[in-house]
Structure 1
Amino acid sequence: MMQAALHSGTGHRASVFELFGRRLPEGRRYGVVAGTGRFLDALADFRFGAAEIDALAARQVVDEATLEYLREYRFTGSVWGYAEGEVYFPGSPLLIVEGTFLEAVVLETLALSIYNHDCAVASAASRMTMAAGGRPCIEMGSRRTHEWAAVAAARAAYICGFGMTSNLEAARRHGIPSAGTSAHSFTLLHDSEEDAFTAQVESLGRNTTLLVDTYDVKEAVEKAVRIAGSELGAVRLDSGDLVAQAHEVRAQLDALGATSTRIVVTSDLDEYAIAALAAAPVDAYGVGTSLVTGSGAPTASLVYKLVLRADDSGELIAVAKASKDKASVGGRKYALRRLDEHGIATAEVIGIGERPHGDANDRQLLVELVRDGEVIGEHNVELARERHRASLAELPGKARRLSKGEPVIPTVFIDEAPDRHLVIGTP
């Protein structure tokens, strides 16, 4: 596309691309924006170096004129978007990229690969922490995904309420608190379960977490308390009927005097399993596979579409796909969240071509992220974490339901002509 656009002379036309989702994953009531900070970091360093140029030349992917353009590539445009941690709905313009066609179109895969992954993980994480009802959740999914996707997943999960990660690279890069437990292999390495527990307690202290389901849970709990004493930090359950076991282990720990010893559960948890454990005496959840794969929705299904471009005279023209089932809405978008008198969201309002008018308590959603090629948007995970809590608090109560349903608020597009509008979603 770049080569052909350079050849025709249209590549330098002013253009606006938008990243959005036509729908949420089936049955979801809201989505969560994550990946903004990672995208801004990637954009700041987005260059075509000698190795990339040489590879394109050797394979004759593009001609010399295009190679020359790529050698000098620098994004000089502007970017607006939803702040990280914000919730979103169908049609929400999560990212708006303004520049020439050439400099904006080449960012499509960069933006989509980051946002589709991180938004999927964040949306799942939000549901899980909501189901946990204040009990801490530990991200433990590194072994179930690509090694660098694991780092990104830990970041997205932390934004949406997970308190810790077992991924030490995510802890190093993003300042996320880290935590972990021993595996069954550690117990199996030793000649007896007692030897394994003794080695761990002597090395790591009595506040450590002992894995008690390698053999017999009841016997393991007795050994754990005998070796560590009532100061034992926690025991971990990783198999079986977790609800029944949690009750049995809690009663056993209390009877042994270990009333402050916590119970941590793992074993393929998702938001539904966490919700089922709400009445059980569980103190923390370790979540892996389901979290890093989006709990059944491994991609947010976001797209990146041209919505506005200049013609030969320089006049900006709204453009849109009209194909069946994949139509898009042309024109540069502006977004606000409509709130009622109690501060509860009632609609996602998207203005086409101009900023929609709101009441005093309505909230504008787009923030400036890049100006004239320079990154100016904040991408601090702690601020994103706070923003997510605040954004969730604005949603109607039924957003907390795990049962399948429609988006919790509708998306309303307002055209420049006041008598034309389009509503997506039925709350």
Structure 2
Amino acid sequence: MNTADLGLPVDVPSTALFTDHYELTMLQAALKAGTADRRSVFECFTRRLPEGRRYGVVAGTGRVLDAVENFRFDADVLGFLRERNVVNEETLEWLAAYRFSGDVWGYPEGEVYFPGSPIMRVEGSFAECVLLETVILSILNHDSAIAAAASRMASAAGDRPLIEMGARRTHELAAVAASRAAYVGGFATTSDLAAGFRYGIPTVGTSAHAFTLLHDNERDAFQAQVDSLGRNTTLLVDTYDVTEAVRTAVEVAGPELGAVRIDSGDLLLVAHRVRQQLDELGAVNTKIVVTSDLDEYAIASLAAAPVDAYGVGTQLVTGSGHPTCSMVYKLVARAESADPKAPLVPVAKKSSGGKTSIGGRKWAARRVDDEGIAEAEVIGTGPVPAELADRQLLVELVKGGEVVAREPLDVVRDRHAGARGNLPLSATQLSRGEAVIPTEYVHLRSGS
């Protein structure tokens, strides 16, 4: 797996600089103090869901695994750190040999999560784990936010497919990650060819208003597109007059016309008029695709409209108002000494302002009712209760530095559909509310 699979330019040699300056200065100080080799446990979690959201979606795990594999301090990276005097020579020497050799556990990608869920747990020496904080958080916070928005949109859309088309509304590399996360959340296709190339997501697209404006009239534009792409293409009908455009589209392509796309106006009203017109013209199988700054609320409002697919851009790639999940990466346990056999001691931050953490290496399980519907997220540090033994959520992702849990993106996508389907029905409500199930803690102690 090379860096291109991460959505990186091919000339980026590693992911090692996707980190913050203070990760390296902490490393230098720990090396000098003799504490860098202490066995440590870090956990990634969020203290609360974004306002009004009922559940979160784990996305980006596969990209995290790639990032950990490619976290290498090569000559160019070391030269940059030396030139900027970020750390001393002893630390640079340590970094030159860096390879993550620890273990990573986490919720499987596509699973849902709730406040306090230990979404990812990283175990190893303090030195090797602390360096991964920023890159892990940057991936999980972005991708999970996009996937959560996508999941809400997929719920609102029901059986109608969703097209991801936000590449022009975000950073070019973020666009690729957003396409991947949207696919996990339930989108069917993307307009972004880089996402199709890197992740195998189906790609779609036909034409924009510029293509119509290029030609002397709408008929010539439609004829050129049909001649090139066939009668099953999708014609954009709102450049000038929608009614006239639909009539012209059917005249050019015949009743075999694949679809028309509407990108402006009162979509509910226009969709009904276009459907009636298509049927009257004999194009009863021609589908209607709507775009135009859609979000989950707009999609839900079109549930009664004769719409066959939705294209979503800006609102999706910005997390529909919540572009991050506010996940954090906290040290929750560390060994009493550098001795590999030294016992782990729970540690945690204790502060005001709602940032208190809970110490200890945690497990997580989801309790369900007799019908298999989730009723609580249970988190603990002691023995797992017998009744939850087969409901544990964390799986092994990296063992001894080796990735052991890569999986096809379609498996992740199907997992999310199943996980969302096992939530209480209120999870799909778009009205603002609290987490759809409570988080329960057992055998835990607060930070001190």
Match of 2:211 among 186, 190, 203: 186
- Equivalent pairs counted in the alignment come to 418
- Where 1:282 maps in the other structure, the secondary structure is coil
Aligned to 2:313: 288
Aligned to 1:120: 145
One-letter amino acid of the structure 2 residue matched with residue 326 of structure 1: K
Match of 2:407 among 379, 383, 386: 379
Asked if structure 1 preserves the Cα contact closer than 8 Å seen for 2:160 and 2:309, the reply is yes
**Cα distance in 1 between the residues matched to 2:358 and 2:32:** 28
- Where 1:235 maps in the other structure, the secondary structure is strand
Asked if structure 1 preserves the Cα contact closer than 8 Å seen for 2:142 and 2:323, the reply is yes
- Where 1:230 maps in the other structure, the secondary structure is coil
Gaps of 5+ in 1: 422-427
**2:371 pairs with 1:348:** no
Aligned to 2:8: none
Give the root-mean-square deviation of aligned CA atoms.
1.4
Match of 1:168 among 175, 193, 202: 193
Counting only pairs closer than 5 Å after superposition, residues 3-402 of structure 1 correspond to structure 2 as 3-312=28-337, 314-324=342-352, 325-359=354-388, 363-402=391-430
1:126-171 CA distances to partner (integer Å, 9 max, x unpaired)?
0000000110000001001111111111111111211111111111
One-letter amino acid of the structure 2 residue matched with residue 163 of structure 1: A
**Cα distance in 1 between the residues matched to 2:167 and 2:393:** 33
- Where 1:358 maps in the other structure, the secondary structure is helix
**Cα distance in 2 between the residues matched to 1:184 and 1:105:** 49
**Scaled by the length of structure 1, what TM-score is found?**
0.96
**Cα distance in 1 between the residues matched to 2:385 and 2:349:** 23
Aligned to 1:425: none
What is the deviation of 1:180?
1.3
One-letter amino acid of the structure 2 residue matched with residue 409 of structure 1: I
**Cα distance in 2 between the residues matched to 1:352 and 1:50:** 42
Asked if structure 1 preserves the Cα contact closer than 8 Å seen for 2:365 and 2:388, the reply is no
**Cα distance in 2 between the residues matched to 1:22 and 1:69:** 34
User: How many percent of aligned residue pairs carry the same amino acid?
Assistant: 66
1:189-211 CA distances to partner (integer Å, 9 max, x unpaired)?
11111111110000000000000
One-letter amino acid of the structure 2 residue matched with residue 109 of structure 1: T
Gaps of 5+ in 2: 1-25
What is the deviation of 1:353?
4.2
Asked if structure 2 preserves the Cα contact closer than 8 Å seen for 1:336 and 1:356, the reply is no
One-letter amino acid of the structure 2 residue matched with residue 40 of structure 1: L
One-letter amino acid of the structure 1 residue matched with residue 315 of structure 2: S
Asked if structure 1 preserves the Cα contact closer than 8 Å seen for 2:294 and 2:311, the reply is yes
Asked if structure 2 preserves the Cα contact closer than 8 Å seen for 1:37 and 1:380, the reply is no
**Scaled by the length of structure 2, what TM-score is found?**
0.91
**Cα distance in 1 between the residues matched to 2:61 and 2:434:** 26
Asked if structure 2 preserves the Cα contact closer than 8 Å seen for 1:265 and 1:284, the reply is yes
One-letter amino acid of the structure 2 residue matched with residue 112 of structure 1: L
One-letter amino acid of the structure 2 residue matched with residue 323 of structure 1: S
Asked if structure 2 preserves the Cα contact closer than 8 Å seen for 1:18 and 1:304, the reply is yes
**Cα distance in 2 between the residues matched to 1:385 and 1:76:** 29
Asked if structure 2 preserves the Cα contact closer than 8 Å seen for 1:334 and 1:356, the reply is no
What is the deviation of 1:356?
4.1
1:78-112 CA distances to partner (integer Å, 9 max, x unpaired)?
00000000000000011000000010000001100
What is the deviation of 1:377?
1.0
Aligned to 1:405: 433
**Cα distance in 2 between the residues matched to 1:146 and 1:15:** 35
**2:438 pairs with 1:414:** no
**Cα distance in 2 between the residues matched to 1:364 and 1:190:** 60
